[in-house]
Structure 1
């Protein structure tokens, strides 16, 4: 059953575990501070995802920098007859760039986003808690999307370097 899959060109993203080129590339991405509570949450989620490959090793010198700008908004969706809001939508969007620190080249310039619906209830505390929980979940989701795109970019860069090395050796 594995033989047909190998022929289709599909390969695991992190083939080789923590020693793979992608995992090592993720481990050397620096994520500078991002303003605001939403920025703190996204940065924490990014560092958790990117740093997984770096666990158990000493400090590494960053090779890439990830610049992130966030847009967090809350909008009313459901408005009742008495003009009270019954449902909100929280939207978190990130514009990010992955920069090679050695060359200054922008390797990736992309956006990621996610949104969540929130029921507005009579308890203000419960509504605020739901808004905060939604932000925490959105931060993890956006960080996951960003990490996947970064991993794909690094994998493609690794493949390009391998092809260049092979053609240079011939």
Structure 2
């Protein structure tokens, strides 16, 4: 019975309209478009982390001629959450937000203007070193998460643009 249900699900899957984002591997239009995105330097340590994560996900290695530019502005904040009666902070929240624009270099058209963000909770302990290390680890993880969200949105935009160009 389970095998029959699995077979029915496999047969029904193509009719649901789902398509692989990177169908065709490295030669897919989305993959080629993402490899052709130039990410200028982003100020600050958080900018360096986000830029590296983006370039890693785009597969940039100078192989493709840039067709797009990704302009990114970051806002990194650390807030006190848990405060005791004696004003001792016991918990912090690190927030990383990105405002980004994908620009077509040939036309100057802004293809995507969006935001992405993530936050993480940090326990403040008696060891200042441990707290600073936790804050830095949170920033590294947030940079990867924000980059992942940006890449997903950019890939969807490039896929939509490729399908529109194919329909013309």
Aligned to 1:139: 143
**Aligned residue pairs, count:** 160
Give the root-mean-square deviation of aligned CA atoms.
1.1
Counterpart-to-counterpart distance in 2, 1:6 and 1:107: 29
Residue 82 of structure 2 is aligned to residue 78 of structure 1: yes
Give 3-state SS (helix, strand or coil) of 2:106's partner. Answer: coil
Give 3-state SS (helix, strand or coil) of 1:160's partner. Answer: helix
Counterpart-to-counterpart distance in 1, 2:106 and 2:53: 25
Could you tell me which runs of 5 or more consecutive residues in structure 2 were left unpaired when the two chains were aligned. Answer: 1-8
Counterpart-to-counterpart distance in 2, 1:82 and 1:112: 36
Q: How many Å apart are 1:46 and its aligned residue?
A: 0.3
Residue 157 of structure 2 is aligned to residue 149 of structure 1: no
Please, which of 5, 11, 15 is the counterpart of residue 3 of structure 1?
Answer: 11
Q: 1:4-153 alignment to 2 at 5 Å?
A: 4-51=12-59, 59-153=63-157
Aligned to 2:167: 163
Query: What TM-score comes out, normalization by structure 2 length?
Result: 0.93
Query: What TM-score comes out, normalization by structure 1 length?
Result: 0.92
1:124-165 deviation per Cα after TM superposition (whole angstroms, max 9, x unaligned): 00000000000000000000000000000000000001111x
Give 3-state SS (helix, strand or coil) of 1:33's partner. Answer: coil
Counterpart-to-counterpart distance in 2, 1:101 and 1:70: 22
Query: Which stretch shifts more, 5-14 or 91-100?
Result: 5-14
Q: How many Å apart are 1:27 and its aligned residue?
A: 0.3
Counterpart-to-counterpart distance in 2, 1:111 and 1:2: 36
